[in-house]
Each structure stands twice: as structure tokens, then as C-alpha cells.
A and B are shown apart, each in its own frame.
Chain A
Amino acid sequence: MAVIAKSGSKRWVSAADAAARAAGVRVGMPAAKAQALFQGLMLIDADLDAYNLALERLSHWALTQYSPIVAMDLPDGIVMDTEGADHLRGGEQSMLTGIVNLFLAKGLTARVAVADTWGAAHACARSTDRQVIIVPPGQVVRAVERLSISMLRLPEKIVGDLRTLGFKTVGELSATPRAPLALRFGPEIGRRLDQMFGRVPEPIEPIRTPDQIEVSRSFSEPIGAAETINKYVGRLVIQLCEELERRGLGVRRTDLIVHKVDNTNQSIRAGTAKPARDVAWLTKLFKDRTEKIEPGFGIEKLVLVAVMSEVLEESQRTSSLVEEEEEDITPLIDIFGNRGQRVYRLAPVASDVPERSVRQIAATAEDVEFSWTARWRRPVRLLARPELADVIALMPDHPPVSVTWRGKRRKVKNADGPERIFGEWWERSSEWVAVRDYFVIEDETGERLWVFRSGDGVDAVLLVPAPWTWSTLPSLLLSAPYTDRAFKDG
């Protein structure tokens, strides 16, 4: 199957699937030649409008997901300014693999590249078969010098003529004196090369959907002082909230885009845990971070965009006067969240295995009714992973007599146990036979530890491979349980 595009009276192949490529059909080949190569080749006329529409939808999706500055990189790509946005996805590498995997899940292949400049990223993404390419900062020249000149986003005519002159790679072209090239081809080549190497800024004009609410403020004189920025951000927020109120919406994600005099953009994104239309709330979220704005030579325009908004209806609060109303602390949660801190609540899980009995839930989630049912004593602090402790104990069911943990020997005064916890065989087959006996022990100073012995103490040696050791003391007594959770509980 091949897709045929038309330019003038010329019909050429603009895309081909794997089977067609195997038959020798190549992109850019005249349609008649492709048909001659393979009888019965299915030809589809390209629908440019639908194609562009799909690309636009994809860009809008990327806008809400990845970065405040997203644009279509026509004809076949999307460009994003991910500076300051990648850490939210765990760094560049995991952000890119994440994008590729998302497309793979839909049965599509995507090639993604990150580089210092739009031009370089454009070229890298399109020139190799690798799906993820990361060009480290400052390495653009090395990364692109071997790439073909067709990656320079020049008109086809110029590329063809340059080929005739013998130029093949970007490196060759950039090493040639500019003047003769400019005389022959115009300023286009120089501009594209400079854009690729970052010598000329190339701001990305972000796409906007018509239903996005956008307020902006241009300044006749560039501004730079922090107080001035704060003042105008405050005014923009008020404007935005008025507009939101008119439409009955609340914002979930808002971007502040700063256009600077030297033709570069900076953006700040603020998210809220639920739809917000409160002036004070939103102002606080932005003022918190206006210090991150680097005004440089000055700011000429501030734009505030509601990227994601949801319906927000005013509801009347019923006041019972008797019960004290609990204050809504969602704004506080948003402040923490936008500062990059992890905000969560802990909720119980119905599991006897201690490390599985707690899970993190969103701070704004509904209240969980269920609670931990065990009335046995539990430690205040739990070690992240079990640590081995040497123990002297009477087998099989008695608590330890002394414990050596982290180089400190403790004589056990009081102890409770064993509390037997079986492995959850429905989780993993290796837990089929897993047993842990937990003991609460208290040493002479009153410090408490919660230790467990892996295995039931009778034929446990067979079940637990490594951690059992036997000491040289006479018979019955010893085992050195695989201890895990040591704790102190007052």
C-alpha cells in the first residue's frame, strides 16, 4: 500500500508501508514507477487536510501533557520546548522513551530527538532509524555535521541545486564561505544554518485551540523588575478569572508565557488539583515562582493561557452552624505540588505483609473508610529493606534472648510473639511457602525492635536459602533469623 501525493501535475509516493517498501517502493518515487514495480499496488490519494488535522490534534494533546510551548513542525512533526519540563517526566531519557512507547502502544512509530535548537532536533529525528536521540548540550555541531543537507529545512529547489554543486552534508555546507552561497541562493541557507547551530534564536510560536482562554499584556517599554512582573501577573490573573467566570469554567493547568526582547520565550506552568477560578489562589501559584523568570534584556509581553479547563459551578455551602466546617486545603496542596514536592496521603491496604499494608494516594482523594485492623503493636519507623541481625533464641517458637543489630548487642528484657504472617501466594508463586514470625522485643534500655524470622523455625532452613546461620553454641538454641524490620516504638 502506498500513499500518493500530488504536486502540480506530478504524482509521487509520499508514504509506503512495509510490504510496499519490501517490493522496492520508495518515498519520493513517481507514482507510475511504483505501479510498474509492483503489480496490484494499492494507491491511496493523500488527504492533506485530514493529515494536518490529525497532526494538530496530536499537538494539542502534547500541549496538555508535556510542555506549554508546542507547535506543529510541518509537514510531519511536532516541536516542543521542553526546557524545564522534562524533570516532571523523570528526565529527558525517560520522557522520550515514554513518548515513543505511547505511540507504540497505538501501533505507530515515532522518532524523537532532543537538541539545543529546533533545527538540530528536527534534523536528528529525521535522519536515523533510532527512535530516541538525545544530543547533549553544546554538542550540536558534532551531532549534525554528517547529516544530509536535505535535513536543513531548505526549499527542495535549493537542496537539489546544492547537490549539483557537490554539497552532501551539513558540515561541508557550514564550512563553505557564506558570501558566494548567499549571492547564488539568497539568505535562506545562512539563516537555516544559524538556526540549527543556535546563532540566531528561533522562537516556537505555540499553537492554541480556539476554546483556550488567553489574556495578554504587551509593554511599550520592556519590564524587568520583580515587583513589576508580579503586578502584571496579578492583573492578568484577574482578567483570566473574569473570563473564566463568564464561561463558567475553572482552570486545571495554566501557563504563563514570557516573551522577552531578545526574541526568546520562557514559560511557567501551574497546575491545580481541582478546577480553580480563585484570583488569590492562582496569583499565589504564579507569584511563588516569578523569581524563576529571567528577564534578561527585558520582557515585552506576558501571556496567560488556560491550557486545560473544566466546568466549575458555584455551589452554595450549607452551614450547619453547629459543626465546624473543615477548611478546604486544596490551594495549599497546589502550592506544594507546583514547587515540585511530593504530596500524598497514606491509605491502608488489606494485606498482612507490613510493607504492603500502606499505599500512597492523592492528597485530594476521597476519604478512605477502611482502616488497619490489627491491634498488635506496630513500629513507628520501618526500614526500607530488611537488615540481617544475629540472634540467639530457643527454637522453634521462643522470642530471641539477645539481638545484635547494626553492631550493637541488645539483651532482650521483654518480648511478644511470634505473630505469624504468611506470604501472599496469590501475588507471586515464590511466596507460596513464605512465612515470617514477627516478634516485638524490648531491650534493657526500653528500646523496642520489631524483628522477624523468615521461616517457621522448624523446617525453615529448607525454605529460606541464605540467611540462616548456625553458631557454635550447644545445640537447641541457635538460629540467626533473617531479621528485617527493626524499629523503636517508644
Chain B
Amino acid sequence: MPFGVPEIDTRLPGGGLAYGAIHEFAGGGGGTIDGAAAALFAAGIAARTKGKIVWCLTRPDLFFPAIAQAGLNPNRVIFVESDREEEVLASMEEALAYGGLGAVIAELVRLPMTASRRLQLAAEKKGTMGLVVRRWRRQTEANDFGQPTASTTRWRISVLGSEALPVPGVGRPRWFLELMRVKAGECAEYCVGACDDKGRIHLAAESGHGLDTSRRSINSG
């Protein structure tokens, strides 16, 4: 599924995020704990698929109005809340193997190689897209993201200062999107504007990776 951003799509084999594969998303900095930007990015991708979405989680702290602002209709999303991580993995595998879903999203702390391979196989079998949002309990645990998994692509989403507005206020958020790993492709980094109300991202003006000099500090008094 293409992002609609040529710079990103050409880097991905097949010209977009593959259906029938597992994609991993993690936040950078404080986002490793709350996984907010990563969840929103995943929701934006899910919003552009067709069919129902299954969202497996253990910590039910999503505030759905924000997800709905990324274009995901609440009627499409079925939440499966479990008490343990392993149950989230089991639910995700079950949902991927069921087929007929738009995407399956899971919020996970740990994703061991074996588990990710099982998920990848289940996704390949039925052609459902699996999106894993990694969310750690402590920021120090996040180096776990360096461990290899069987997922097809792996992304890190860190927040940047928002797009400057001509008036005081908070503009469209921007993300620093790192494509850390992709099967049969090369890594890349982008500076993108966050999901709009259809779940689309766009390439923001490159401005030195967050050192946005044109941004003025308004409203600081």
C-alpha cells in the first residue's frame, strides 16, 4: 500500500507497505514509553486500508477521538484487551490467520524472534497487514528495538517541532520518520507532516532534522 509520498514509496520494495507482512513501529525519545506518535502513524495506515481493524492491547489508554482525527472510523475498530503480553501475541496471530481484515494492530513491549516469525507467517498466509506498535515501560528498555525480528519493515517515529504558523499556536505536528530496516531495501530518513484526517502523511520541508530555525517562539509569555 503506497503512502502517496513518492520519496518514501520508491524506497520500499513493491512501491509501498506490503500487505501480508508485519511492520513494526516505535517511538523515539519519550515516545518509547507512550508510543503516541507510533500509534497515530499506525492508525493512519490502518485508516487507509479496507475492512475491519483489530487492535490488540494490554493498556487501554487510547483516546479514540484523536485516532478518529487520523481518519479511522470507530465502527471499524474492534479492541481486544488482554491481561498479558502473550495473549496479545496470540490474539494478533489469530486475527491475522482469520483473514478478511483490513489490518491488525498490536501494542507490544517485547517481540521475540520466534513470535515475530509466527506473526509474519500468519500474515503471509492470508495477506493481512500486521502493524506492531512497540511500547516499552522504561526508556532504557527501548534498546530492545535493536534486536532482530522477522518483520518486513521497521520504523521509528520521533516527534519534531510542529510546522510554523503565521499566527501564535500549535501547527500540524511533524515527525522524524526513520525507516530503520526494510527487507530487500535500504534504510532512509524523512521529515514528514503527521497524519491528516484521511490518515495521509506528507513530506515536510527538510529543515535540519528538528532544528527548525524558522520557528519562532510565540506565546511564551
B80: contacting residue among A342, A357, A415, A444, CB under 8 A: A342
The CA-CA distance from A21 to B66 in the complex, in Å, is 64
Q: Could you say which residues of chain A place their CB within 8 Å of the CB of B80?
A: 336, 341-343
A415: contacting residue among B29, B54, B63, B219, CB under 8 A: B219
Do B170 and A345 touch across chains, with their CB atoms under 8 A apart? Answer: no
Query: In residues 469-490 of chain A, which contact B (Cβ within 8 Å)?
Result: 487-490
Do B52 and A326 touch across chains, with their CB atoms under 8 A apart? Answer: yes
A333: contacting residue among B29, B50, B78, B169, CB under 8 A: B78
Q: How far is the CB of A431 from chain B (nearest CB, A)?
A: 21
Question: Most chain-A CB neighbours within 10 Å: which of B40, B90, B219?
Answer: B219
Do A383 and B61 touch across chains, with their CB atoms under 8 A apart? Answer: yes
Do A348 and B74 touch across chains, with their CB atoms under 8 A apart? Answer: yes
Q: How far is the CB of A43 from chain B (nearest CB, A)?
A: 57
Say yes or no for B101: interface residue by CB 8 A criterion: yes
A342: contacting residue among B81, B160, B217, CB under 8 A: B81
Say yes or no for A64: interface residue by CB 8 A criterion: no
* Known contacts A327-B100, A379-B36, A489-B37, A335 near B94 by CB under 8 Å: yes
Do A446 and B100 touch across chains, with their CB atoms under 8 A apart? Answer: no
* Known contacts A343-B79, A442-B170, A488-B31, A332 near B159 by CB under 8 Å: no
The CA-CA distance from A331 to B100 in the complex, in Å, is 12
Interface stretch, picked from B1-9, B11-19, B114-122, B171-179, is B171-179
The CA-CA distance from A383 to B61 in the complex, in Å, is 7
Do A416 and B100 touch across chains, with their CB atoms under 8 A apart? Answer: no
Q: Could you say which residues of chain A place their CB within 8 Å of the CB of B98?
A: 329, 331-332
The CA-CA distance from A70 to B62 in the complex, in Å, is 41
Say yes or no for A53: interface residue by CB 8 A criterion: no
Say yes or no for B168: interface residue by CB 8 A criterion: yes
Say yes or no for A33: interface residue by CB 8 A criterion: no
A interface: dominant SS = loop
* Known contacts A326-B52, A329-B98, A380-B62, A413 near B78 by CB under 8 Å: no
Q: In the complex, how many residue pairs between chain A and chain B have their CB atoms under 8 Å apart?
A: 183
Q: Could you say which residues of chain A place their CB within 8 Å of the CB of B39?
A: 380-381
Say yes or no for A183: interface residue by CB 8 A criterion: no
Query: In residues 137-184 of chain B, which contact A (Cβ within 8 Å)?
Result: 157, 159-162, 168-171, 173-175
Say yes or no for A199: interface residue by CB 8 A criterion: no
Question: Most chain-B CB neighbours within 10 Å: which of A383, A384, A488?
Answer: A488
Q: How far is the CB of A411 from chain B (nearest CB, A)?
A: 8
- The size bracket of the interface on B is 35 or more
Do A381 and B210 touch across chains, with their CB atoms under 8 A apart? Answer: no
Q: How far is the CB of B172 from chain A (nearest CB, A)?
A: 9
Do B217 and A413 touch across chains, with their CB atoms under 8 A apart? Answer: yes
Q: Could you say which residues of chain A place their CB within 8 Å of the CB of B215?
A: 413
B169: contacting residue among A336, A372, A414, CB under 8 A: A414
Question: Which residue of chain B has its CB nearest to the CB of A361?
Answer: B74
Do B169 and A416 touch across chains, with their CB atoms under 8 A apart? Answer: yes
B74: contacting residue among A341, A368, A414, A489, CB under 8 A: A368
Q: Could you say which residues of chain A place their CB within 8 Å of the CB of B73?
A: 371
The CA-CA distance from A205 to B99 in the complex, in Å, is 41
**Which residues of B are at the interface with A, using a C-beta cutoff of 8 A?**
29-31, 34-37, 39-41, 50-52, 54, 61-69, 73-75, 77-82, 87, 90-91, 94-95, 98-101, 157, 159-162, 168-171, 173-175, 194, 210, 215, 217-221
7 additional contacts (CB under 8 A) given A441-B170, A488-B37: A324-B50, A332-B54, A343-B79, A345-B75, A368-B74, A416-B170, A448-B159
A-B contact pairs, 24 of them (CB 8 A): A326-B52, A327-B101, A329-B54, A329-B98, A339-B87, A339-B90, A339-B91, A341-B87, A344-B78, A354-B63, A368-B75, A377-B170, A380-B34, A380-B37, A381-B63, A382-B61, A414-B162, A414-B171, A445-B159, A446-B161, A447-B31, A488-B159, A490-B36, A490-B157
**Which residues of A are at the interface with B, using a C-beta cutoff of 8 A?**
324, 326-327, 329, 331-333, 335-336, 339, 341-348, 354, 357-358, 363, 367-368, 371-372, 374, 377-384, 394, 398-399, 401, 411-416, 440-442, 444-448, 487-490
> Which are the 9 A-B pairs with shortest beta-carbon distances?
A327-B100, A490-B37, A382-B63, A446-B159, A380-B36, A378-B66, A490-B173, A488-B36, A342-B81
